[in-house]
Chain A
Amino acid sequence: IQLTQSPSSLSASVGDRVTITCRASQDISTYLAWYQQKPGKAPKVLISAASNLQSGVPSKFSGSGSGTDFTLTISSLQPEDFATYYCQQLNNYPPTFGQGTKVEIK
Protein backbone atom coordinates (compact mmCIF):
# COMPACT_ATOMS: atom_id res chain seq x y z
CA ILE A 1 0.00 0.00 0.00
CA GLN A 2 1.46 3.33 -1.07
CA LEU A 3 0.96 6.46 0.99
CA THR A 4 1.31 9.87 -0.60
CA GLN A 5 1.66 12.90 1.63
CA SER A 6 1.14 16.46 0.58
CA PRO A 7 2.74 18.84 0.65
CA SER A 8 6.30 17.47 0.84
CA SER A 9 7.29 20.61 2.69
CA LEU A 10 5.69 23.79 3.91
CA SER A 11 6.72 27.04 5.52
CA ALA A 12 4.52 28.41 8.26
CA SER A 13 4.59 30.96 11.03
CA VAL A 14 4.11 30.48 14.75
CA GLY A 15 0.40 30.48 15.44
CA ASP A 16 -0.59 29.22 12.00
CA ARG A 17 -3.01 26.36 11.47
CA VAL A 18 -1.33 23.64 9.45
CA THR A 19 -2.91 20.72 7.61
CA ILE A 20 -1.05 17.77 6.11
CA THR A 21 -2.79 15.18 3.98
CA CYS A 22 -2.05 11.51 3.41
CA ARG A 23 -3.64 9.49 0.63
CA ALA A 24 -3.53 5.69 0.55
CA SER A 25 -3.46 3.67 -2.65
CA GLN A 26 -6.25 1.45 -1.32
CA ASP A 27 -8.83 1.42 1.45
CA ILE A 28 -7.15 1.10 4.86
CA SER A 29 -10.20 1.93 6.97
CA THR A 30 -8.75 3.87 9.93
CA TYR A 31 -5.52 1.88 10.19
CA LEU A 32 -3.36 4.97 10.01
CA ALA A 33 -0.89 6.60 12.38
CA TRP A 34 0.95 9.91 12.37
CA TYR A 35 4.51 10.43 13.62
CA GLN A 36 6.64 13.49 14.34
CA GLN A 37 10.40 13.35 13.85
CA LYS A 38 12.90 15.99 14.86
CA PRO A 39 16.47 16.04 13.49
CA GLY A 40 18.67 13.34 14.98
CA LYS A 41 15.81 11.80 16.94
CA ALA A 42 13.60 8.76 16.58
CA PRO A 43 10.04 9.32 15.39
CA LYS A 44 7.34 9.81 17.99
CA VAL A 45 3.78 8.60 17.46
CA LEU A 46 1.19 11.37 17.72
CA ILE A 47 -2.01 9.74 16.52
CA SER A 48 -3.19 6.18 15.99
CA ALA A 49 -6.34 4.77 14.39
CA ALA A 50 -6.52 7.93 12.26
CA SER A 51 -7.84 10.15 15.04
CA ASN A 52 -6.82 8.81 18.47
CA LEU A 53 -4.44 11.16 20.22
CA GLN A 54 -1.67 9.28 21.98
CA SER A 55 -1.21 9.81 25.70
CA GLY A 56 0.79 12.93 26.46
CA VAL A 57 0.40 14.45 22.99
CA PRO A 58 -0.96 18.01 23.08
CA SER A 59 -4.52 18.52 21.91
CA LYS A 60 -3.36 21.00 19.26
CA PHE A 61 -2.72 17.88 17.15
CA SER A 62 -5.71 16.19 15.58
CA GLY A 63 -6.28 13.59 12.91
CA SER A 64 -9.20 12.67 10.74
CA GLY A 65 -10.18 10.54 7.81
CA SER A 66 -10.93 7.00 6.81
CA GLY A 67 -10.66 4.82 3.75
CA THR A 68 -8.02 6.47 1.57
CA ASP A 69 -7.89 10.11 2.66
CA PHE A 70 -6.49 11.36 5.95
CA THR A 71 -5.40 14.64 7.48
CA LEU A 72 -3.19 15.76 10.34
CA THR A 73 -3.92 19.23 11.67
CA ILE A 74 -1.87 21.36 14.02
CA SER A 75 -4.20 24.03 15.31
CA SER A 76 -1.64 26.64 16.35
CA LEU A 77 1.93 25.99 15.31
CA GLN A 78 4.53 26.47 18.02
CA PRO A 79 8.34 26.53 17.74
CA GLU A 80 8.62 22.97 19.04
CA ASP A 81 6.35 21.70 16.23
CA PHE A 82 8.83 22.41 13.45
CA ALA A 83 9.71 18.89 12.39
CA THR A 84 9.01 16.25 9.75
CA TYR A 85 5.70 14.41 9.92
CA TYR A 86 5.02 10.92 8.55
CA CYS A 87 1.85 8.94 8.08
CA GLN A 88 1.97 5.13 8.32
CA GLN A 89 -0.54 2.45 7.43
CA LEU A 90 -1.12 -0.43 9.83
CA ASN A 91 -3.65 -2.24 7.68
CA ASN A 92 -1.39 -5.03 6.49
CA TYR A 93 2.16 -6.14 5.79
CA PRO A 94 4.39 -4.57 4.86
CA PRO A 95 3.64 -1.50 6.95
CA THR A 96 4.47 1.54 4.88
CA PHE A 97 5.14 5.20 5.51
CA GLY A 98 4.42 8.33 3.56
CA GLN A 99 7.43 10.20 2.21
CA GLY A 100 7.19 12.82 4.95
CA THR A 101 6.20 16.47 5.23
CA LYS A 102 8.80 18.88 6.52
CA VAL A 103 7.33 21.81 8.42
CA GLU A 104 9.70 24.77 8.43
CA ILE A 105 9.67 28.21 9.94
CA LYS A 106 8.59 31.02 7.63
Chain B
Amino acid sequence: EVQLVESGGGLVEPGRSLRLSCTASGFTFGDYGVNWIRQAPGKGLEWVGFIGIKPYGGTTEYAASVKGRFTISRDDSKSIAYLQMNSLKTEDSAVYYCTRDNLAAPLLFDYWGQGTLVTVSS
Protein backbone atom coordinates (compact mmCIF):
# COMPACT_ATOMS: atom_id res chain seq x y z
CA GLU B 1 0.00 0.00 0.00
CA VAL B 2 1.33 3.40 -0.99
CA GLN B 3 1.75 5.66 2.02
CA LEU B 4 3.09 9.17 2.39
CA VAL B 5 3.55 10.70 5.83
CA GLU B 6 4.46 14.35 6.32
CA SER B 7 6.12 15.62 9.47
CA GLY B 8 7.98 18.62 10.81
CA GLY B 9 5.21 21.18 10.90
CA GLY B 10 4.66 23.56 13.79
CA LEU B 11 4.64 27.15 14.95
CA VAL B 12 7.50 29.32 13.70
CA GLU B 13 8.20 33.05 13.76
CA PRO B 14 8.31 35.10 10.57
CA GLY B 15 11.75 35.10 9.00
CA ARG B 16 12.72 31.75 10.51
CA SER B 17 13.19 28.38 8.83
CA LEU B 18 11.51 25.02 9.00
CA ARG B 19 12.11 21.70 7.29
CA LEU B 20 9.29 19.34 6.44
CA SER B 21 9.75 15.66 5.68
CA CYS B 22 7.70 13.31 3.53
CA THR B 23 8.35 9.66 4.37
CA ALA B 24 7.20 7.19 1.75
CA SER B 25 6.47 3.48 1.86
CA GLY B 26 4.81 0.83 -0.26
CA PHE B 27 6.62 1.65 -3.51
CA THR B 28 10.11 2.19 -4.93
CA PHE B 29 10.58 5.80 -3.88
CA GLY B 30 13.48 6.48 -6.23
CA ASP B 31 11.30 5.79 -9.26
CA TYR B 32 8.87 8.64 -8.58
CA GLY B 33 8.89 12.39 -8.47
CA VAL B 34 7.41 14.18 -5.46
CA ASN B 35 5.28 17.30 -5.33
CA TRP B 36 4.48 19.56 -2.39
CA ILE B 37 1.08 21.24 -2.27
CA ARG B 38 -0.24 23.55 0.41
CA GLN B 39 -3.59 24.79 1.63
CA ALA B 40 -3.96 27.87 3.77
CA PRO B 41 -6.70 27.65 6.43
CA GLY B 42 -10.10 27.82 4.77
CA LYS B 43 -8.53 28.39 1.34
CA GLY B 44 -7.86 26.45 -1.83
CA LEU B 45 -4.96 24.33 -3.02
CA GLU B 46 -1.65 25.78 -4.16
CA TRP B 47 1.13 23.78 -5.77
CA VAL B 48 4.47 24.57 -4.11
CA GLY B 49 7.08 22.58 -5.98
CA PHE B 50 8.36 19.34 -7.45
CA ILE B 51 11.46 17.19 -7.44
CA GLY B 52 12.14 14.66 -10.16
CA ILE B 53 14.03 11.42 -10.01
CA LYS B 54 17.82 11.14 -9.86
CA PRO B 55 18.33 9.45 -13.28
CA TYR B 56 16.91 12.62 -14.81
CA GLY B 57 18.96 14.91 -12.62
CA GLY B 58 16.52 15.32 -9.78
CA THR B 59 15.13 18.42 -11.48
CA THR B 60 13.22 20.84 -9.28
CA GLU B 61 10.44 23.30 -10.07
CA TYR B 62 8.92 25.90 -7.75
CA ALA B 63 5.95 28.16 -7.56
CA ALA B 64 6.81 31.82 -8.01
CA SER B 65 5.55 32.55 -4.49
CA VAL B 66 8.26 30.37 -2.89
CA LYS B 67 11.10 30.40 -5.43
CA GLY B 68 14.37 31.41 -3.80
CA ARG B 69 13.04 30.69 -0.29
CA PHE B 70 12.01 27.03 -0.46
CA THR B 71 14.15 24.07 -1.53
CA ILE B 72 13.04 20.52 -2.21
CA SER B 73 15.48 17.64 -1.88
CA ARG B 74 15.30 13.89 -1.55
CA ASP B 75 17.13 10.99 0.08
CA ASP B 76 16.22 7.88 -1.85
CA SER B 77 18.10 5.64 0.58
CA LYS B 78 15.64 6.68 3.29
CA SER B 79 12.60 7.14 1.02
CA ILE B 80 12.20 10.72 2.25
CA ALA B 81 11.61 14.00 0.45
CA TYR B 82 12.27 17.29 2.21
CA LEU B 83 10.87 20.77 1.92
CA GLN B 84 13.28 23.31 3.38
CA MET B 85 11.46 26.56 4.01
CA ASN B 86 13.50 29.68 4.73
CA SER B 87 12.53 33.31 5.31
CA LEU B 88 9.04 32.24 6.23
CA LYS B 89 6.18 34.69 5.92
CA THR B 90 2.80 34.73 7.60
CA GLU B 91 1.24 33.90 4.22
CA ASP B 92 3.15 30.60 4.19
CA SER B 93 0.87 29.35 6.98
CA ALA B 94 -0.89 26.29 5.61
CA VAL B 95 -1.29 22.56 5.69
CA TYR B 96 1.49 21.13 3.56
CA TYR B 97 0.87 17.92 1.64
CA CYS B 98 3.31 15.78 -0.29
CA THR B 99 2.12 13.78 -3.27
CA ARG B 100 3.64 11.11 -5.46
CA ASP B 101 4.07 11.81 -9.14
CA ASN B 102 2.01 9.71 -11.53
CA LEU B 103 4.28 8.07 -14.11
CA ALA B 104 1.58 7.94 -16.79
CA ALA B 105 0.24 11.42 -16.09
CA PRO B 106 2.81 13.81 -14.63
CA LEU B 107 1.22 16.43 -12.39
CA LEU B 108 -1.72 14.16 -11.58
CA PHE B 109 -1.75 13.91 -7.79
CA ASP B 110 -3.18 10.48 -7.03
CA TYR B 111 -1.48 9.73 -3.71
CA TRP B 112 -1.41 12.28 -0.89
CA GLY B 113 -0.13 12.31 2.65
CA GLN B 114 -2.31 13.45 5.54
CA GLY B 115 -0.62 16.84 5.66
CA THR B 116 1.34 18.76 8.28
CA LEU B 117 0.33 22.18 9.59
CA VAL B 118 2.74 25.09 9.45
CA THR B 119 1.83 28.26 11.31
CA VAL B 120 3.98 31.32 10.81
CA SER B 121 3.25 33.85 13.51
CA SER B 122 5.01 36.02 16.06
Q: A residues within 8 Å of B by Cβ?
A: 33, 35, 42-45, 48-49, 54, 86, 88, 90, 93-100
Contacts and interface: CB of A to CB of B under 8 A. Distances in A.
Given A54-B110, A93-B61, A94-B63, A48 B46 contact: no
Contact of B109 (A88, A94, A98): A88
Contacts of A33: 108-109
Contact of A95 (B107, B110, B114): B107
A55 B102 CA distance: 14
B106 A90 contact: yes
A95 B112 CA distance: 16
Most chain B C-beta atoms within 10 Å of own C-beta, residue among A35, A86, A93 = A93
Contacts of B109: 33, 35, 43, 45, 88
Please list the 6 inter-chain residue pairs (A to B) with the smallest Cβ-Cβ separation, ordered nearest first. Answer: A42-B112, A90-B107, A97-B45, A95-B107, A95-B47, A100-B44
Main secondary structure of the interface of B (DSSP, over half): loop
Given A42-B97, A42-B113, A45-B110, A94 B105 contact: no
A96 B47 contact: yes
Contacts of B61: 93-94
A103 to B, nearest CB: 15
Contacts of A88: 45, 109
B115 interface: yes
Interface of B: 35, 44-47, 50, 61, 63-64, 97, 105-110, 112-115
Given A42-B97, A45-B108, A48-B105, A86 B44 contact: yes
Contacts of A86: 44-45
Contacts of B107: 90, 93, 95
A72 B11 CA distance: 37
Contacts of A95: 35, 47, 107
A44 B97 CA distance: 12
A54 B110 CA distance: 9
Given A45-B109, A94-B47, A99-B44, 16 more contacts: A35-B45, A42-B113, A42-B114, A42-B115, A43-B112, A45-B110, A48-B110, A88-B109, A90-B108, A93-B107, A94-B61, A95-B47, A97-B44, A97-B46, A97-B47, A100-B45
